[in-house]
Amino acid sequence: MIKFLDLHKLNKPFETQFLAKTKSFLDNGWYVLGEEVKQFEQSFATFSNSKHCIGVGNGLDALVLILKANIHLGNLQKGDEVLVPANTYIASVLSILQADLIPVFVEPTIETYNIDPNLIEEKITSKTKAILVVHLYGQLAEMDKINAICESNNLLIIEDAAQAHGLTFNGNHTRAFSFYPGKNLGALGDGGAITTNDDVLAEVLFSLRNYGSSSKYKNDFIGVNSRLDELQAAFLNIKLPHLNTENETRKKIAKRYLSEINNNKIDLPICNNFNNHVFHLFVIRTENRDKLQEYLNSYGIQTVIHYPIPPHKQKALQEFNHLSLPITEKIHQEVLSLPMSSVLTDEEITHVIITLNSY
């Protein structure tokens, strides 16, 4: 079976280093917010060309804390509207709701799956104060256009980069990352981070993630406990230097998929510029998605659906269930994610391609 994502194989080359690091972690006896977190925050800030990195518990918390910090600083107010792509993982939407803000859904383009910049302005009202841009599946959203719209409408831009580690970003914005194990940079458990160039925001974020405390037992904000775990930071320190190479391998696989898959029943994703994609996922579309998934499975190829139900149709978000977002709904009905990771072999990729071409 060709796994959609073989995490064991992916992490195997680091095993000796993980074990050695775990031993020194045990010997050291410092378990929370220690040198490993500090080192990772410095390295990831440098890697991301950012002034600050704040390690947090997961990607959802990274988003919630960015929004809450902006509320603390008066840049946003509870009840403000935040534009968000309708086609995203539910975490993007949950973060807005958890910060007592109101999500307003914007449809994507069917070619890129990312937010359609041409549909943003019609959603802006006097209550719209921010946009949460998502670089879905690892592809940069159309930031030139989005930046221009936001500048002329005075909107704050926050980026959900949970699926986009290693992407060359565009603009001086605060970004949220997830280190969930399956991400391009994955921990061995949960983890997340925020990058920002804003000194004041960074100070609030360092405090918010740690009970709103800047020094022990002195609390300035109503914060949360969402710290990047010390051991996960240690694992991430080992993996970060390999991220660019792994992303290059993903790109090579995507190039093969794009040039060699040829079947008129299958729509391939559009990638106009390989510098703007880190291929967290390679997502195709087909009319009878379940049939294709079964077919691939019968040939030993595991696929995953990202995602089967859009956020606005989820039971948890009942107040939005009445919305009609046809492009998003079509995408959710038709998408299928092919095996994609840096440990796929040439033979496995060839098998996926040949099998798809004879469907």
60 lies in the site for ligand PLP, by CB under 6 A: yes
Binding residues for ligand PLP restricted to 183-202, rule: CB under 6 A: 190, 192
What is the footprint of ligand PLP within residues 117-176 (CB under 6 A)?
134, 160, 162-163
Cβ-Cβ contacts under 8 Å for 356 (sequence gap 6 or more): 261, 263, 266, 296, 338
Residue closer to ligand PLP by CB (options 52, 165) is 165
Residues facing 194 on adjacent strands: 54, 176
Q: How far is the CB of 32 from ligand PLP (least distance, A)?
A: 19
Q: How many CB atoms lie within 10 A of CB 259?
A: 10
Q: Report the nearest approach of ligand PLP to the CB of residue 181 (Å).
A: 10
- Non-local (6+) Cβ contacts of 354 within 8 A are none
Among candidate residues 126, 88, 85, the one with its CA nearest the CA of residue 104: 85
One of 11, 178, 286, 342 touching ligand PLP (CB under 6 A): 178
For position 50 contacting ligand PLP by CB under 6 A, the verdict is: no
| C-alpha to C-alpha distances, 210 to 53, 61, 135, 229, nearest whole angstrom | 15, 12, 28, 12
180 touches ligand PLP (CB under 6 A): yes
Give whichever of 86 and 349 is closer to ligand PLP, judged by the CB atom. 86
In sign, the C-alpha dihedral spanning 3, 91, 231, 54 is positive
Q: Which is nearer to ligand PLP, 282 or 349 (CB)?
A: 282
State how far the Cα of 37 lies from the Cα of 39, in Å rounded to an integer.
Answer: 5
- Binding mask 61-100 toward ligand PLP (x if CB under 6 A, else -) reads ---------------------------xx-xx--------
Strand 213-215 to 192-196 pairing? unpaired
Which residues sit at the interface with ligand PLP, rule CB under 6 A? 58-60, 88-89, 91-92, 134, 160, 162-163, 178, 180, 190, 192
